[in-house]
Amino acid sequence: MTGATALRDPASFGPVDLDESALESWAAEVGRAAIRAGRFVCLSGPLGAGKSTFVRAACRAAGVEGAIPSPTFTLVNRHRTTSGEIIWHADLYRLESPELLVDVGWPELVDSDAAVFVEWAERAEDWLPADRWEVRLDFADRPNERRVEIRASGAGEPPPAPTVDPC
């Protein structure tokens, strides 16, 4: 067919390359939207891609004060914003098997109306909720940038799109 317009999935944005401040601004927007809508946000990508950087920026923008330590050994941390909302931050890097998720209170996260951010979410395999936002972060050509994509899976509002800062 000639002249066909490619149909874009309205709930999928990227890939685009963002420097650290652009990535943090976008993460802040995603964080605020995730709190508003009680979304479950999955983050995937290699070590050093910026998953923790993203979650910290999202938590800060949502009003989490003080230290935001990585849940490296606890696997799940719970934060409270200055206005009293809960934000869950999980990091499943050290999860040995999805069956062990129940030991870290995973069912509560999946059923929660709060915002949930999960690094290495793919390690939860079938234990992820159907309705979620999936953020993919990867290295880019420039060392100070990361290639980012986001898509919605299941029902619910679409996620904020990443935008490149105008030069």
Ligand X SMILES: Nc1ncnc2c1ncn2[C@@H]1O[C@H](COP(=O)(O)OP(=O)(O)O)[C@@H](O)[C@H]1O
Nearer to Mg ion, 77 or 81 (CB): 77
Binding mask 25-64 for Mg ion (x = CB under 5 A): --------------------------xx------------
Q: DSSP state, 11?
A: T
Q: DSSP state, 139?
A: E
The answer to whether residue 79 forms part of the interface with ligand X (CB under 6 A) is no
Binding mask 11-50 for ligand X (x = CB under 6 A): -------xxx--x---------------------x-xxxx
Total residue length of the chain? 167
Determine the Cα–Cα distance for residues 146 and 154; give it in Å rounded to an integer. 26
Where in 115-154 is the site for ligand X (CB under 6 A)? 119, 144-146
In the complex, the residues that contact ligand X under the rule CB under 6 A are: 18-20, 23, 45, 47-53, 119, 144-146
